[in-house]
Each structure stands twice: as structure tokens, then as C-alpha cells.
Amino acid sequence: MIARFLKRSIALSLLVPVAAFAIEAVPLGDEFVEIKNVDPSILIDLRYSTPNNVTHRPLYPPGTPALVRASVAERLVRVQKYLQKKKCGLKIWDAYRPASAQHQLWQATQNGSYVADPKGARGSMHLRGVAVDVTLVDEAGRDLPMPTEFDNFTPAALINYHGNDPMVRSNLNLLQKAMAHGGFYGLRTEWWHFCAPDWKRYPQVPELKTVTERNIPAL
Ligand SMILES: [Zn+2]
């Protein structure tokens, strides 16, 4: 038991870099980490830090890091390794989303099929740090053809592809297999959205506070 715990601790200490963000003292795996620090081969393109999203304006400041719970980052590493064997990789379109961004997104869309109402019972999985919006890239980091663009809130974005492009079908199939390999669940209405199955463990965090240098624990 102790050996198992130690093994996990060592694995996590290797995996998890010095966290730039934290929410007080939290159990192992619950802290927030930057995806690019955990696996630099995962590409990051946070659409809500640019005008290139459904609202046509940035919802986060430029340079906002892509953050998830450490346990979710571990899952993403498993997914990335799976994809690398197929000469592909992940690109992250969104990860942890602060409440202010969720509110703006809801105001812009007002469509509960695609965006979680901030006043809803469960809220957004992005506020818990357990959801990611992702797509596939090839070895050179180029986007692979997928059913739709990000934030295409139409039936074309359903998790079950109904188009007839075999390349798109095969890419979506690979993404879904890879994410399932990491233990993620998909969402019926958005092919790009995936969530960790143990999301209930993680409360919503309206805003993450940056911790100062001197508060960062040494590993
Ligand atoms: Zn999402």
C-alpha cells in the first residue's frame, strides 16, 4: 500500500511541475497544473484568449495558461502517448475556464445544449478543471480534418458523425478512441468536448489566484 502510494507520489512529482496556480492545500491530483509543463508535445491554442471564437472577442487575457487538475493532466499524457504511436497529437482549444468567461459565453450563446448555464445545477465542467476541448493534429502540428470548426453549435458537431467524408470519420474515431484510452467521457452535442469521469470530486473554482514565487513549494 505504502509502496503503491510512494510510486504514485514519485510518478506525480515527475509529472507535475512547480504549479503556478493553486487553490489552498488540496489532495494529491487535485491541484491545477499547466498542460504545456506536464507534456510540452501537446499543442495549446486557447481560442477564448483570441477573437477567434463564437463571441468574436477574447474572453481571457492573452497569454492565459491552459490549466487542468493534475489528475486530468495525467489522463491527457496517456492520450498523447496513444496518439503519438499513430503519428498524431492533441491540440487544446480550452481547458479551465473562469466563471467570468463562462458568463460571457452564456450571454453570447444562450443555448443550454452547447454551453452550460452558469446558474445551472452542475455548471460547466470547465470551471472544475476536469474538461478539455480538443482536436487532432498531425506530427507537424497541422490541424487534421474534423467534422466542424470549434464552437460550431449545430447538429454537425454531434459526437456521432453523420457526414460522408471517410477521412473525417477516421480522424474523429481516432480522437474518441484516444480520449477513451485516457478514461475521458465525450459529450453528445460537441465532438471536441471531453470530461474526466470523476468530475464530482472536483468543485467549481470561479477564479484561480496566482500564487507568488515564494509560496510555490519546492519539489
Ligand atoms: Zn468544452
**Residues 38, 76: contact at Cβ < 8 Å?**
yes
pLDDT digits (tens, 9 = 90+) for 190-201: 999 999 999 999
What confidence tier does 218 reach under pLDDT thresholds 50, 70, 90?
Answer: very low
For 42, 85, 163, the CA distances from 159, given in Å and listed in that order, are: 22, 24, 12
| CA of 1 relative to ligand 1 center, distance in Å | 36
State the pLDDT at residue 15. 39
Q: Quote the mean pLDDT of the chain.
A: 84
| CA of 47 relative to ligand 1 center, distance in Å | 12
State the pLDDT at residue 43. 98
| b/e code 6-25 from CB counts within 10 Å (16+ = b) | eeeeeebeeebeebbbbeee
| CA of 213 relative to ligand 1 center, distance in Å | 31
Q: Model's pTM, two decimal places? A: 0.82
| CA of 4 relative to ligand 1 center, distance in Å | 33
Instruction: Please state, as a whole number, how many other Cβ atoms lie within 10 Å of the Cβ of residue 87.
Output: 9
Question: What percent of the chain shows pLDDT beyond 90?
Answer: 61
| CA of 163 relative to ligand 1 center, distance in Å | 22
| CA of 24 relative to ligand 1 center, distance in Å | 25
Looking at the 3D structure of the chain, how many domains does it have? 1
Q: Is the pLDDT score of 60 beyond 90?
A: no
Q: Is the pLDDT score of 210 beyond 90?
A: no
**CATH, residue 186:** 3.30.1380.10
| CA of 8 relative to ligand 1 center, distance in Å | 28
Determine the Cα–Cα distance for residues 139 and 62; give it in Å rounded to an integer.
26
Range of the domain at 110: 2-215
Is 27 buried (19+), middle (13-18) or exposed (0-12) by CB count in 10 A? exposed
Cα dihedral sign, 146-114-49-218? negative
Catalytic positions, please? 190
Q: Is the pLDDT score of 57 beyond 70?
A: yes
